[in-house]
Amino acid sequence: MDITWLYNQLKTNMGPSGWWPADSKPEIVLGAILVQNTNWRNADAALTALRDETSLDPNSILSLENERLIKLVKPSGFYRNKARAIKSVFSWFNQFEWEYDTMKKYYGTGLRDQLLKLQGVGPETADVLQVYIFDKPVFIADSYTRRLFSALNWMDAKTYQELWNNVSLPKWFTFEDAQEFHGLIDNFGKEYLKRPADFNQSFLSK
């Protein structure tokens, strides 16, 4: 597994990924929850409904009635779970008044475990938040990444944890690199991993 090679190939051939597409950190948090097991189109429909109603202001979102919040996030699917997740995660951020550096220092290396305790936050969402909210250079082993590593014959991981446990980013990776690496992989996945033949004609296959 040559992470540096992969990162450079993706950067050279695909350009800036433009991830995470959001104007604010609360918006990133919402996107991370709403996109769970669905496509960005559906997640964005829910995000737009939320924006129209609350301007994505955390206090406005937290003060929504549960049934109202459920209705707003409906286009993203799994709306009851996601409404609960939004309340859980936003309540936690509100406890710290969204002071990311304070939270980072407070939890230290226990940040990931704390994230995993929140309703609706599993390993992928926890790592997305670490990378895009808390500016930490960690590896995100989402489904596109697992498919890519499998296509490269690097590792055929069945679960998120299996790949995550066996991959470490190069020491020199900054959080910006981790952000871009993840964005590039998912952009690559959408274009080249729909079928095995797609990968075989990509710039990553030999």
Partner DNA sequence: GGCCAGGACACCA
Partner DNA sequence: TGGTGTCATGGC
Interface residues with DNA (CB under 7 A)? 19-21, 31-32, 35-42, 45, 74-81, 85, 116, 118-126, 128, 142-144, 158-161, 186, 189-190
Of the candidates 62, 147, 135, the one whose C-alpha atom is nearest the C-alpha of residue 100 is: 135
**Identity at 141, one-letter amino acid code:** A
Place of tokens 């936050």: 121
CA distances from 93 to 51, 70, 88, 119, 166 (A): 18, 20, 9, 13, 30
- One DSSP character per residue, 143-191 reads HHHHHHHHHTTS---SSHHHHHHH----TT--HHHHHHHHHHHHHHHHH
Cβ distance to DNA smaller for residue 24 or 119: 119
Cβ distance to DNA smaller for residue 9 or 42: 42
160 φ/ψ angles, rounded to the nearest 5 degrees: -55, -50
Residue 135 C-beta: closest distance to DNA, Å: 16
Contact 150, 157 (CB under 8 A): yes
Contact 193, 149 (CB under 8 A): no
Residue 172 C-beta: closest distance to DNA, Å: 23
Cβ distance to DNA smaller for residue 33 or 171: 33
Of the candidates 81, 22, 79, the one whose C-alpha atom is nearest the C-alpha of residue 51 is: 22
Residue 28 C-beta: closest distance to DNA, Å: 8
Cβ distance to DNA smaller for residue 21 or 170: 21
Distance CA 190, CA 115 (A): 27
Cβ distance to DNA smaller for residue 68 or 105: 68
Residue 186 C-beta: closest distance to DNA, Å: 5
Residue 198 C-beta: closest distance to DNA, Å: 12
Cβ distance to DNA smaller for residue 142 or 180: 142
Residue 150 C-beta: closest distance to DNA, Å: 13
